[in-house]
Chain A
Amino acid sequence: MSHGGGGGEDGVSAEPNLTPLLDLVLQLVMFFMLVANFVADEMSDKIKLPVASQAKPLKATETNFMYMNVDKTGHVLVPSREPLVSQDEITFYLRQTIKNHPLGARAGDTVTVIIRADKDSKFKDIHKTMVSIKTAGFKNLQLRAELPGAK
């Protein structure tokens, strides 16, 4: 007769069931993979947003939006492209975005542009971006801020 944990003469081999543990670990891996890659592409983490207590979270109904990240030097950071510096460059990029958008020409009316600007950027750079957004044909604009106590 063998006794658990005994280590007697019979040579008891303990084989714990690892399958539930593996399931759990894979679920955790999946969670972190999803959370890590969800928004990283468009939202630059180089931008430190200003704090505003009255900022409202994005509504669930607002599904068509795009981000414009403005760093502290006033350059607009765009995924997989060089930063945009001049107003003409920004306007051209936004016009191309409308052109390539699945909604086509209606994109200007339905897509909300959200400016994520660094708290140390200057108003002239924000205004330059805002004018480009309007010139390109977008109708809806919002400024993004961090809610207090978020960190």
Chain B
Amino acid sequence: MKRKKKEPPIEITLPITPMLDMAFQLLSFFLLTFKPMPTEGQMSINLPKTDVASTPSESPVPDTDKKDEYTVVLYSAGGDIGLISFKGPVSAPAELSGDNKLPALLQRLKDIPKPAGKGPDSISITIEAAPDLNYSRLIEIMDLCKRSGYETVNLTPIKKES
């Protein structure tokens, strides 16, 4: 019996060039429209106190857990910070204005006396801001608080009696 002669293997050649053209077009599209997002970070903040929350609670805070409360009041001048009022239980109230008000506030925040054996966590900082204050200026003050070691601050609108 005669053996069947093997046929030569069929060589398949895929046309890669059109696919490469398309891939290059896609690549150029994504390269042109690519806009890297800037690096962003978070700043922790306590939720605002509402009227319900401000009523006396049934379980009062023990004296050992009570925090010294300091308030930074930000008055607006056309969206910018016009005047900063700083008050607290230990520090003398101060009104800060002029070009050096931010370094002065930073110094006052750093100078806040901490209770013996406790760190910045034992201090509560509340920022009272004018409604028309620019958000970027507010963030600047929050940044100062964090630089002084106070990780979380309270934010509230300026009180009428302030």
Contact = CB atoms under 8 A, between A and B. Distances in A.
A130 B155 contact: yes
Nearest to A131: B48
A57 B44 CA distance: 11
Interface in A1-42: 18-19, 21-22, 25-26, 28-29, 32-33, 35-36, 39
Contacts of B130: 123
Contact of A119 (B44, B135, B156, B157): B135
B68 interface: no
Contacts of B41: 52, 55-58, 144-147
A68 interface: no
Contact of A122 (B34, B35, B79): B79
Given A18-B16, A19-B16, A145-B43, A50 B139 contact: yes
Contacts of A39: 37
Interface string A87-122: 000000000000000000000000000101111111
Contacts, number: 154
A127 B48 contact: yes
Contact of B136 (A32, A33, A119, A130): A119
B40 A144 contact: yes
Interface stretch (B21-29, B94-102, B110-118): B21-29
A36 B30 contact: yes
Given A18-B20, A123-B129, A134-B50, A144 B42 contact: yes
Interface in B118-146: 129-136, 138-140, 142-143, 146
Given A145-B42, A147-B38, 9 more contacts: A35-B34, A54-B143, A56-B41, A119-B134, A120-B135, A124-B157, A134-B47, A142-B43, A147-B40
